[in-house]
Structure 1
Amino acid sequence: MKNTAKMKIKMPQNRETITLEIEGMTCEGCATHIEKDMNATEGVLSSTVNHETGKGEFNFDADKMSKANVIDAINSVGDYSVVNNVDEEEVSAVNSKGQNKFDLIIIGGGSAAFSAAIKAEGLGLTTLMVNAGLDFGGTCVNVGCVPSKNLIRAAETVRLATHSNFKGIKPRGADIDFTQIIKDKKALVASLQQQKYMDVVSDFKNLTMLKGWAEFVDNKTILVNGKDRYTAANIIIATGATTNIPSIEGLNKVGYLTNVSLFDLEEKPKSLTIMGAGYIGLEIVMAYNRLGVKVRIIEFTDRPLRSQTKDITDVLVEQMNSEGIEILPNFRAFKFEKKGNDTIIHCNCPDGSTTQIVEKGHIVVATGTKPNTSNLGLENIGLKLTESGHIIVNEKMETNISNIYAAGDVTITPAFVYTAATEGSTAVNNAFSSTKTSIDYSSLPWVVFTDPQIAGAGIDEIEAEKKEIPFEVSKLDLIHVPRALAAQDTRGFIKLIRNTETDKLIGARVVALEGGELIQQLSMAIKFGITVKDLAESFYPYLTLGESVKLAAITFGKDVSKLSCCAS
């Protein structure tokens, strides 16, 4: 869902809604332009346009204008045109009993929503899922995890075909068919969206799925597309998040991409300037660079992936520099403008001066996300939000309103597809069961799919110090790990954090080629209170990356560089 303002008006008796596909939009400014002009059109009640999906939803007074009038009005705005009417039929939904009353309403259509729907079906609950914005399946399968990791793997294939760690092997290079790579990515997304989402719920007897915009009337009632009312005993908000577009002069005018639109470009870009060096920006910049696109990354803080300690980001920066990626830390863009086909980025530099950066390709905005909580009518029910607009929930996914729950990226919890799924199921359980369950994220594993990968679980040394936990850190460079030596790839390290009073593992960070495959066992060690002594004395297969856990645990008390390969 998109964060735009809606007009506050009294609803007419003959209010109708139409969803249209609009051609010609290139940025957020285009969507705002259409909304502004349409809202000023006699008979149009409200407009919501999303340039990333290419769709607009228009509420209008059918006594004053027809659907054809709406289309004509859009076609008269700038260079935009309606290419397809994607919602010709009247919007309505009923449950299995032929009523607009349900046990549960789920607002959203991503991982949290589907997990909630699956749980609800198992409990025999009549459920209505109302989704707008991205297709059913949400961010992960459509524009996030699936397409990004597919492109990252494709890029890794190119890297292996062009670079070798072994002097006796001379790679011959790779022929890159960029268009085919994107077409294959699209096919994969479509296949998984169908198989892992739509097919899963296709035979559900108690689930009704509806495309439309939901707004709260009261804590048990929603209005869909400004027309049809639906009620439920409990409601779950799982509307996800979208790219947070910074307010910078000229950005909306020059046109920009996000991961939503970038991943669908079948023509290889001339070049890319990525705004933002968080995990999304870093994954994009490394993948597209390896696929033959000249890239740079602009970050307004002092280093990429600022959420992690400097020793981690130092490894990343060294690798990106070696691959020719231009990194501009402490640069802050303050103005964008077009000169011919070029985009000029005006930046404040670290030394206080200003400079102009010329981008001949595309600008990609990867400056974090914002929750989709606008235009849901939350002010009508008094739902509490953070300053950033996230829904405040407790460990049971409860909000401040007893029958309303929230799950996924729209909340204050960690923003991962697997956490969203757990939260959706937990919300349903706690809404309809007397036995309440809570979610504990203290051992949560996560991965950033750069090369080398960065993975973590639990807290790091900075967090431990803030929490005044007595701790000790063991850091083992991969140059001491036989598996890394045999592969002649010793980039990175493994770092363990233990509580010195209990010897229990409380945190871990891994920087390694396949570090993500290692983090789960460390997460389990944290969750079940395994001590560092236990880790050091366990059996590990020789010449595996997992052996680095044993060596890092031993490092708390010994210098592993002075031990034989199999010593403990």
Structure 2
Amino acid sequence: MKKYRVNVQGMTCSGCEQHVSVALDNIGAKNVEVDFRKGEALFELPNDVEVGTAKQAIVEAKYQPGEVEEIHPLVKVNLGNEGDYDYIIIGSGGAAFSSAIEAVGYGAKVAMIERGTVGGTCVNIGCVPSKTLLRAGEINHLAKNNPFIGLHTSASDVDLALLVKQKNELVSQLRNEKYVNLIDAYGFELIKGEAKFVNEITVEVNGKQITAKRFLIATGASPSVPTIPGLTEVDYLTSTSLLELKKVPKRLAVIGSGYIGLELGQLFHNLGAEVTLIQRSERLLKEYDPEISEAITKALTEQGINLVTGATYESIEQDGDIKKVHVEINGKKRIIEAEQLLVATGRKPNTESLNLQAAGVTVGSLGEIVIDEYSKTTNSRIYAAGDVTLGPQFVYVAAYQGGIAARNAIGGLNRKINLKVVPGVTFTTPSIATVGLTEQQAKEKGFKIKTSVLSLDAIPRALVNRETTGVFKLVADAKTLKVLGVHIVAENAGEVIYAATLAVKFGLTVEDLRETLAPYLTMAEGLKLAAITFDKDVSKLSCCAV
């Protein structure tokens, strides 16, 4: 018997699954699994039945078969025999812990190697510390700039040292609860030290060589620093060191305005600093739809953040405590001065010290580990997951990949990584959330599309909040009206995007959104209103009218 996976177009419901399943059963296929949401069928065929016969059966059932893949089962690890460990994980972040917990469930003897602080980027220097400080900054900003007449609020100077102390206490608590304490709870071993491959089954840590049947590399990424003349001679900050400042600077300049630069720049603006964001491209978030870029640009400008776009960096120098960034914009020279300088120009994978060539593991042009759709590297014994692969830089993606890696590496399964529908959130105020295809991406994939763009001033929740700078945008297939992408700039956009993610993942249509009841005076109602906007002017509807 041979096992196959075939893409099937045209399925829209569980009844379609049954039709395809019966068609395959009739030609002798075994262990048939059909999923209309994924648009695929899994089945086994006797060696004397050609896969073309299966494709023809699907055609006769009135569906369209696409690419066919023969699935070769991975070799399941023979646990508990030779070697020191069944599974060694290098790194201790979200991908590492997810993978360790999954592998222990198979009965594997697991070791985790960590050269620094247990917990990885998210809990220690990323999501948790930045988001708790962002909330503090938002409260401080609202205290000084609330939009309601009759409310008299104010804020004094920020004691950043106390805020950072409180932030560090939260980080310590969550690190222990969500990482350190789980080591004993699940029964795997933590080895402190730096791992370096000796060969494809051996790493050296603290001068000792240890072996394993399978490995996972989950070493994450760290701030990337661009090559700008003079930068290395300046006392600049990264996203890590900025979060340890004990005093709010009078002026902060930020090189780069991706999600890290936007979040941390706005944080310090809200804490009282004069902030200037500097970037090379002509518009913020150029990979997003223009309406999203325009909305967040308007919001930040209204708040008083200085935006410098289209800049060419010439040099950086330090004069006493003042950093000077020399740029050229449209042929004109300009110097931007600040007490503190944040470099937020992306992240680089942590692979330099691993000696990967000794293990036969290939890296890409940026040092990222190259993996296949099963999370496997060019060495079949070694897997990789999370930011070290330079996939989507989200802890939930890393954890998902880590779980897949363990199922394949230890369980011998053939689970593919599926990152077709990944929501992303930038925690500015208003926040930015996106899932699925942008308008441009949809066109590049050959879709004929329809779009709906709804300003936040048409959404009742925004009106009562008195915060109406923002936008909802839906991208849909013009033929089927399936929702291909949703892009939002609004308060609580990160909460709304989960519903949008379900819509994109499960092929809901614009009509599905229209016909689904949405609670009034929630930001999530914006999804329904944006769907109605495809063919109606919502400004001419009564409250809750459809």
Corresponding position of 2:18: none
Residue 202 (structure 2) pairs with residue 221 (structure 1)? yes
CA–CA distance in structure 2, aligned partners of residues 174 and 317 of structure 1: 28
Shift of 1:99: 9.6
Corresponding position of 1:129: 112
Shift of 1:340: 2.4
Corresponding position of 1:40: none
Partner residue of 2:459 out of 459, 462, 481: 481
What secondary structure sits across from 2:326 in the alignment?
Answer: strand
Shift of 1:300: 1.3
CA–CA distance in structure 2, aligned partners of residues 98 and 469 of structure 1: 53
Letter in 1 for 2:433: A
What secondary structure sits across from 1:195 in the alignment?
Answer: helix
Shift of 1:394: 2.4
CA–CA distance in structure 1, aligned partners of residues 424 and 254 of structure 2: 23
Corresponding position of 2:58: none
Does the 8 Å CA contact 1:491/1:513 hold for their aligned counterparts? no
Does the 8 Å CA contact 1:221/1:232 hold for their aligned counterparts? yes
CA–CA distance in structure 2, aligned partners of residues 157 and 527 of structure 1: 35
Change (3 A) 1:484 1:353: closer
Partner residue of 1:356 out of 315, 319, 335: 335
What secondary structure sits across from 1:565 in the alignment?
Answer: coil
Residue 82 (structure 2) pairs with residue 102 (structure 1)? no
Shift of 1:465: 1.0
What secondary structure sits across from 2:185 in the alignment?
Answer: coil
Task: Within 5 Å, give how 1:80-229 maps onto structure 2.
Answer: 101-133=84-116, 135-205=117-187, 207-225=188-206, 227-229=207-209
Shift of 1:145: 0.2
Corresponding position of 1:28: none
Letter in 2 for 1:117: A
Corresponding position of 2:230: 250
Change (3 A) 1:177 1:339: closer
Does the 8 Å CA contact 1:396/1:436 hold for their aligned counterparts? yes
CA–CA distance in structure 2, aligned partners of residues 125 and 113 of structure 1: 15
Corresponding position of 2:257: 277
Corresponding position of 2:272: 292
CA–CA distance in structure 2, aligned partners of residues 321 and 337 of structure 1: 27
Change (3 A) 1:434 1:339: closer
Corresponding position of 2:19: none
Does the 8 Å CA contact 1:393/1:412 hold for their aligned counterparts? no
Tell me the alpha carbon deviations over residues 413-439 of structure 1, each in whole angstroms, 9 at most, x when there is no partner: 211000001111110001122332122
Identity within the alignment, %: 41
Segments of 4+ moved more than 6 angstroms = 96-100
CA–CA distance in structure 1, aligned partners of residues 464 and 422 of structure 2: 31
Tell me the alpha carbon deviations over residues 108-165 of structure 1, each in whole angstroms, 9 at most, x when there is no partner: 11111111111122222111111124x1101101110001101100011112211122
Does the 8 Å CA contact 2:97/2:179 hold for their aligned counterparts? yes
CA–CA distance in structure 2, aligned partners of residues 451 and 398 of structure 1: 39
What secondary structure sits across from 2:178 in the alignment?
Answer: helix
Comparing 552-561 and 188-197, the one that deviates more: 552-561
Partner residue of 1:496 out of 468, 471, 474: 474
Partner residue of 2:351 out of 373, 395, 411: 373
CA–CA distance in structure 2, aligned partners of residues 497 and 536 of structure 1: 15
For structure 1, the residue ranges without an aligned partner over 5 or more in a row are 1-95
Does the 8 Å CA contact 2:99/2:402 hold for their aligned counterparts? yes
Partner residue of 1:440 out of 387, 401, 418: 418
Partner residue of 2:529 out of 551, 559, 566: 551
CA–CA distance in structure 2, aligned partners of residues 238 and 149 of structure 1: 23
Shift of 1:174: 4.4
For structure 2, the residue ranges without an aligned partner over 5 or more in a row are 1-78
Partner residue of 2:296 out of 311, 316, 320: 316
Task: Within 5 Å, give how 1:48-67 maps onto structure 2.
Answer: none
Tell me the alpha carbon deviations over residues 277-336 of structure 1, each in whole angstroms, 9 at most, x when there is no partner: 000000001111111122211111112222212221222222222222221111122322
Corresponding position of 2:47: none
Corresponding position of 1:540: 518
CA–CA distance in structure 2, aligned partners of residues 441 and 279 of structure 1: 20
CA–CA distance in structure 2, aligned partners of residues 257 and 564 of structure 1: 51
Tell me the alpha carbon deviations over residues 323-360 of structure 1, each in whole angstroms, 9 at most, x when there is no partner: 2222111112232222223222222x22223333322x
Shift of 1:475: 1.0
Comparing 338-347 and 227-236, the one that deviates more: 338-347
CA–CA distance in structure 2, aligned partners of residues 103 and 537 of structure 1: 52
Shift of 1:259: 1.2
TM-score between both structures, scaled by the size of structure 1: 0.80
CA–CA distance in structure 2, aligned partners of residues 442 and 341 of structure 1: 47
Letter in 2 for 1:356: I
Shift of 1:443: 1.8
Shift of 1:385: 2.0
Corresponding position of 1:264: 244
Does the 8 Å CA contact 1:156/1:290 hold for their aligned counterparts? yes
Shift of 1:489: 1.7
Does the 8 Å CA contact 2:95/2:398 hold for their aligned counterparts? yes
Shift of 1:396: 1.7
Question: Matched residue pairs, number?
Answer: 468
